Amino acid sequence: MLHQVKQAHAAELFGVAQSTISRWEAGAQEMEPAERALVETVLSARLAASADQALARLVNQSPRPVHLICDLTHRLLACSPSRASEFTLPVSELMERSLWRYATSEIARQEATLDTLGWREALAPPALEFASGVNDSPIVPIQRSLCRWTRMTLSDGTAARLVETL
Protein backbone atom coordinates (compact mmCIF):
# COMPACT_ATOMS: atom_id res chain seq x y z
CA MET A 1 0.00 0.00 0.00
CA LEU A 2 2.77 2.45 0.90
CA HIS A 3 4.43 1.94 -2.48
CA GLN A 4 1.07 2.45 -4.22
CA VAL A 5 1.44 -0.87 -6.02
CA LYS A 6 -1.74 -2.74 -6.86
CA GLN A 7 -1.96 -6.40 -5.83
CA ALA A 8 -1.86 -7.54 -9.46
CA HIS A 9 1.40 -5.68 -10.09
CA ALA A 10 2.88 -6.90 -6.79
CA ALA A 11 1.99 -10.44 -7.83
CA GLU A 12 3.94 -9.94 -11.07
CA LEU A 13 6.92 -8.47 -9.20
CA PHE A 14 7.08 -11.36 -6.74
CA GLY A 15 6.06 -14.16 -9.12
CA VAL A 16 2.96 -15.23 -7.19
CA ALA A 17 -0.80 -15.12 -7.72
CA GLN A 18 -2.76 -11.99 -6.76
CA SER A 19 -4.66 -14.10 -4.22
CA THR A 20 -1.32 -14.90 -2.55
CA ILE A 21 -0.59 -11.18 -2.14
CA SER A 22 -4.06 -10.76 -0.62
CA ARG A 23 -3.46 -13.60 1.86
CA TRP A 24 -0.02 -12.15 2.80
CA GLU A 25 -1.56 -8.74 3.45
CA ALA A 26 -4.37 -10.26 5.52
CA GLY A 27 -1.93 -12.39 7.54
CA ALA A 28 -3.73 -15.54 6.37
CA GLN A 29 -0.63 -17.00 4.71
CA GLU A 30 3.01 -16.86 5.73
CA MET A 31 5.66 -16.15 3.13
CA GLU A 32 8.19 -18.82 2.26
CA PRO A 33 11.79 -17.80 3.13
CA ALA A 34 12.67 -17.18 -0.53
CA GLU A 35 9.52 -15.06 -0.99
CA ARG A 36 10.32 -13.03 2.12
CA ALA A 37 13.89 -12.44 0.90
CA LEU A 38 12.63 -11.18 -2.47
CA VAL A 39 10.04 -8.89 -0.87
CA GLU A 40 12.66 -7.48 1.50
CA THR A 41 15.07 -6.89 -1.39
CA VAL A 42 12.46 -4.99 -3.38
CA LEU A 43 10.95 -3.03 -0.47
CA SER A 44 13.96 -2.39 1.79
CA ALA A 45 15.16 1.16 2.33
CA ARG A 46 18.00 2.51 0.23
CA LEU A 47 19.64 5.88 0.60
CA ALA A 48 19.89 6.52 -3.14
CA ALA A 49 18.47 10.02 -3.64
CA SER A 50 20.35 13.13 -2.61
CA ALA A 51 17.71 14.02 0.02
CA ASP A 52 18.10 10.56 1.57
CA GLN A 53 21.88 10.91 1.57
CA ALA A 54 21.49 14.30 3.26
CA LEU A 55 19.43 12.61 6.00
CA ALA A 56 22.20 10.03 6.45
CA ARG A 57 24.79 12.82 6.72
CA LEU A 58 22.74 14.54 9.43
CA VAL A 59 22.54 11.28 11.37
CA ASN A 60 26.24 10.53 10.82
CA GLN A 61 27.18 14.00 12.12
CA SER A 62 24.74 14.20 15.01
CA PRO A 63 26.26 14.66 18.49
CA ARG A 64 23.32 12.67 19.93
CA PRO A 65 23.15 8.84 20.15
CA VAL A 66 21.04 8.13 17.07
CA HIS A 67 20.99 5.70 14.19
CA LEU A 68 18.90 5.13 11.08
CA ILE A 69 17.67 1.69 10.06
CA CYS A 70 15.50 0.23 7.32
CA ASP A 71 12.03 0.04 8.84
CA LEU A 72 11.42 -3.33 7.20
CA THR A 73 14.70 -5.21 7.66
CA HIS A 74 16.34 -3.29 10.54
CA ARG A 75 19.52 -2.92 8.44
CA LEU A 76 21.77 -0.14 9.70
CA LEU A 77 21.80 2.78 7.24
CA ALA A 78 23.51 5.57 9.22
CA CYS A 79 24.95 6.02 12.70
CA SER A 80 26.10 8.94 14.81
CA PRO A 81 29.60 8.90 16.35
CA SER A 82 28.16 8.81 19.88
CA ARG A 83 26.05 5.76 19.00
CA ALA A 84 29.01 4.12 17.21
CA SER A 85 31.14 4.59 20.34
CA GLU A 86 28.78 2.19 22.15
CA PHE A 87 29.58 -0.62 19.71
CA THR A 88 32.59 -2.93 20.02
CA LEU A 89 32.72 -3.52 16.25
CA PRO A 90 33.51 -0.74 13.78
CA VAL A 91 30.35 0.75 12.27
CA SER A 92 31.62 -0.31 8.84
CA GLU A 93 31.17 -3.95 9.90
CA LEU A 94 27.58 -3.32 11.05
CA MET A 95 26.50 -1.09 8.16
CA GLU A 96 23.85 -2.67 5.90
CA ARG A 97 23.37 -5.52 8.42
CA SER A 98 20.26 -6.11 10.48
CA LEU A 99 20.51 -4.99 14.10
CA TRP A 100 17.46 -7.06 15.05
CA ARG A 101 19.52 -9.79 16.74
CA TYR A 102 20.57 -7.19 19.35
CA ALA A 103 17.01 -6.11 20.24
CA THR A 104 15.89 -6.22 23.84
CA SER A 105 12.63 -7.91 24.83
CA GLU A 106 11.08 -4.43 25.21
CA ILE A 107 12.10 -3.51 21.66
CA ALA A 108 10.65 -6.80 20.37
CA ARG A 109 7.38 -6.14 22.22
CA GLN A 110 7.16 -2.61 20.80
CA GLU A 111 7.89 -3.92 17.29
CA ALA A 112 5.05 -6.44 17.67
CA THR A 113 2.57 -3.59 18.29
CA LEU A 114 3.43 -1.58 15.16
CA ASP A 115 0.82 -3.12 12.87
CA THR A 116 -1.99 -2.61 15.39
CA LEU A 117 -0.86 1.01 15.80
CA GLY A 118 -1.07 1.60 12.04
CA TRP A 119 2.68 2.33 11.89
CA ARG A 120 3.10 1.07 8.32
CA GLU A 121 -0.20 2.36 6.94
CA ALA A 122 0.36 6.05 7.63
CA LEU A 123 2.78 8.08 5.56
CA ALA A 124 4.21 9.71 8.69
CA PRO A 125 2.88 8.08 11.88
CA PRO A 126 3.51 9.77 15.21
CA ALA A 127 6.85 8.98 16.82
CA LEU A 128 6.80 6.26 19.47
CA GLU A 129 8.55 6.55 22.81
CA PHE A 130 9.05 3.59 25.13
CA ALA A 131 11.37 2.33 27.84
CA SER A 132 13.93 -0.25 26.79
CA GLY A 133 15.75 -2.67 29.02
CA VAL A 134 19.22 -4.09 28.57
CA ASN A 135 20.51 -6.81 26.28
CA ASP A 136 23.46 -9.16 26.79
CA SER A 137 25.32 -8.21 23.62
CA PRO A 138 28.95 -7.16 23.86
CA ILE A 139 28.79 -6.03 20.20
CA VAL A 140 25.77 -3.70 20.27
CA PRO A 141 25.02 -3.25 23.97
CA ILE A 142 21.75 -1.61 24.92
CA GLN A 143 21.40 0.03 28.30
CA ARG A 144 18.15 0.79 30.15
CA SER A 145 16.89 3.97 28.49
CA LEU A 146 14.02 5.83 26.93
CA CYS A 147 13.87 5.22 23.18
CA ARG A 148 12.12 7.15 20.40
CA TRP A 149 11.31 5.73 16.96
CA THR A 150 10.39 8.06 14.10
CA ARG A 151 9.34 6.53 10.79
CA MET A 152 10.36 8.43 7.66
CA THR A 153 9.45 7.77 4.06
CA LEU A 154 12.46 8.01 1.77
CA SER A 155 12.46 9.40 -1.76
CA ASP A 156 11.75 6.04 -3.40
CA GLY A 157 8.79 5.27 -1.10
CA THR A 158 10.70 2.91 1.19
CA ALA A 159 10.69 3.55 4.92
CA ALA A 160 13.50 4.22 7.36
CA ARG A 161 13.35 4.50 11.14
CA LEU A 162 15.29 7.05 13.17
CA VAL A 163 16.19 5.49 16.52
CA GLU A 164 17.06 7.92 19.32
CA THR A 165 18.11 7.38 22.90
CA LEU A 166 16.52 10.09 25.05
CB 19 within 8 A of CB 29: no
Write down the pTM of the prediction. 0.78
**pLDDT at residue 64 is higher than 80:** yes
- Between 115 and 64, the more confident residue is 64
**Domains and their CATH numbers in the chain:** 7-43 (no CATH), 50-165 (3.30.450.20)
- Cα–Cα–Cα angle for 56, 102, 166, rounded to 5 degrees: 55
How far apart are alpha carbons 126 and 129 in whole angstroms?
10
For 77-90, write each residue's pLDDT tens digit.
Answer: 999 999 999 999 99
